[in-house]
Amino acid sequence: MNILHVSDIDTTVKGGGINTIVMRLLSQQSKYDNLSLMVFKDFKEHENINIIRFSGLKDFSKFVKKERVDAVVFHSVYKIEYVFLAMLLKINNVKYFIHSHGALQKEAINKKGFGKRVFTRLILPSFIKQSTGVFFCSPNEIKNSLYSDKSIGYIFNAPGFNKNKVKVNKNKSNDKFKLTYIGKIDFYYKGIDELLKAVALLKNDKLELNLYGYGKYKDLDVNYIKDDDSDIIRLLRTIEKLHLGNNVFFHGPVHGGRKEAVFLDSDVFVLTSRSEGMPLSIVESFYYGVPVLVTDRTNMGCLVKKYSAGKVVSFSVESICDGIKELMDSSRVNLDMRNNSRAAFINEFETYDMGEKMHIGIKKNLSKI
């Protein structure tokens, strides 16, 4: 099949869950279909994927006809251009699918903001309804979506790793109990406000929370933070306000070998999100054999419980605080939980082929029409 993916990712920068997942998905799907990727920014060439830049509705229509596109996949939903592209596809009798990436969760849709409220109430319903179907990231994401009736299945976020590369650190003996967060510094979605309050409530000198990531800018320099990087500024001010300077440390973005070292030096990976599709960071934690502390809104709680790979808490300061304390008091964090976390990756993600799942899903649903 000739499949066109449309996404607002930036292929020129490292980091970002959706950046990583979309490119990994396409790399795998290229074994089954002829693929193109349309982006809205400057891009980096890819060996197996034809990447083009959006240059207007007229050129989009010409491309779809010239390449005899069988189906289009829109990644996420909150981009007004998608709506106009979808209209052109309907005119040209080309079916389109949506890969939600967590964008259709109730919390994501209900986030405050006048522009977003107008979009989600007046424009989004028709965009979803006219699609052939929606791919979600997990069974729980389907359950927690306002558009679960459009589901045609889920595709796990399964990054590619070298099977023999990792060496799980099973016998950590730090003086400090190290909690690690790696991801976007987003106070609302990632629940960083509640996490910091929980650490302040715990008041334990042996606890160390290390935060890695970026805010508005993926190329963030911690020595030069821009005035409009609001979540980073809020993070630093909150650390100071809650008197957490001896417990909480912000390090900026982390990649490559340094990122691996951070994982392996962690006691527990923490993600206290208000809303997620399926966080890539938890899969990475499983890969490195790091136990996790997650809220029940991350959509990963079932796997964490299934493998006893950490602790699942509700989204509240008190519950997060109790979860951290329980893990700090448990000698099993350095023993069984690390083995269990690694087992979760091996059993659920090591051989998982996202590209095959999407190929089958598109083919099956096109044949129904």
Mean pLDDT of the chain: 90
**Residue 333 to residue 341: CA distance in whole angstroms:** 10
Length of the chain: 369
As given in the structure block, the two tokens for residue 209 are 């929370």
In the chain, domain spans: 2-158+352-366, 177-348
CA pseudo-torsion sign 109, 16, 99, 58: positive
Q: Is the pLDDT confidence value at 321 over 90?
A: yes
Consecutive H or E run containing 260: helix 256-264
177-348 has the same fold as 2-158+352-366: yes
Report CA dihedral (142, 147, 153, 158) to the nearest 10 degrees.
-60
The SS3 assignment for 184 reads: coil
pLDDT given at position 276? 86
The answer on pLDDT for 331 being more than 90 is: no
**Burial of residue 313, with CB atoms counted within 10 A of its CB: 0-12 exposed, 13-18 middle, 19 or more buried:** buried
Class at the top of the CATH hierarchy for domain 177-348: alpha beta
Give 86-123 as a 3 state SS string. HHHHHHCCCEEEEECCCCCEHHHHCCCCHHHHHHHHHH
* pLDDT digits 0-9 by tens, 270-291: 999 998 888 889 999 999 999 9
pLDDT at 170: 56
Residue 163 in this model has a pLDDT that exceeds 90? no
Torsion of CA 84, 90, 96, 99, to 10 degrees: 30
Give the bridge partners for 36, in sequence order.
4, 50
**Percent of the chain whose predicted confidence (pLDDT) is above 90:** 70
User: Mean pLDDT lowest for which of 92-96, 146-150, 184-188, 329-333?
Assistant: 329-333
Contact 222/185 with Cβ under 8 angstroms?
Answer: no
* DSSP result, 138-159: SHHHHHTBTTGGGEEEE-----
Q: Is the pLDDT of residue 248 over 90?
A: yes
Section 143-155 average pLDDT: 92
pLDDT at 166: 57
Q: Which of 111-115, 125-129, 344-348 has the lowest mean pLDDT?
A: 111-115
Spatial CA neighbour of 338 closest among 295, 289, 294: 289
pTM value is 0.86
* pLDDT score for 181: 98
Give the Cβ contact number of residue 298 at 10 Å: 28
- What is the pLDDT, as a whole number, of residue 17? 77
| CA separation for the pair 303, 309 (Å, rounded) | 8
Q: Identify the pLDDT of residue 116.
A: 74
Give the pairing type, strands 95-99 and 248-250: unpaired
pLDDT at 224 over 70: yes
For residue range 19-64, list pLDDT tens digits in order.
889 999 999 999 999 999 999 988 878 877 899 999 999 999 999 9
Report the pLDDT averaged over residues 233-251: 96
- In percent, the amount of the chain with pLDDT more than 70 equals 92
Distances (CA, A) of 163 to 257, 274, 285: 16, 32, 14
Q: Which are the contacts of 326, defined by CB distance < 8 A and separation ≥ 6? A: 311
Q: Which option is the CATH number for 2-158+352-366: 3.40.190.10, 3.20.20.70, 3.40.50.2000, 1.10.10.60?
A: 3.40.50.2000
